[in-house]
Amino acid sequence: MRITIKKLETGFFIVYLLVAFVCIWCGLDCLVSSFFGFLVAVFDWFLIKLWVKRFMKKGRFSFFENFVRYLIVGLTLLILFEVGLNPLGIVVGISTIPLTLVGFTLFAVMTGEA
């Protein structure tokens, strides 16, 4: 199985649905917070995809663009915490993308396709 961006993005959604199913038992507040955390993570993912395409065209790395991405994500997280959303739900929502990436990587290594 080749790991493609489309498979990763489908995996993100599936892992989030599993996480959301678990968050239901923690309460509606945790579920809503995990949804907003997941939205921040997906926004960060699309920023990375956009800037990687620009990086491939230019052929050089831009620290400024990376700094802007971190600043946008950090400010968004601060706003979510200030609004009063459940911190556990936000962290769980943001963690879905790294968990999916680790899962896909481990699967590829274990099956010998990496």
pLDDT tens string 74-111: 999 999 999 999 898 999 889 888 888 888 888 888 88
Residue pointed to by tokens 């971190």: 70
Q: Which of 25-29, 49-53, 85-89 has the lowest mean pLDDT?
A: 49-53
SS3 of residue 50 by DSSP: helix
Separation of first and last alpha carbons in the chain: 10
Distance CA 59, CA 24 (A): 45
pLDDT of residue 26: 84
> How far are the Cα atoms of 53, 68, 78, 92 from residue 42, in angstroms, in the given order?
17, 16, 17, 13
Distance CA 111, CA 2 (A): 11
Distance CA 94, CA 38 (A): 5
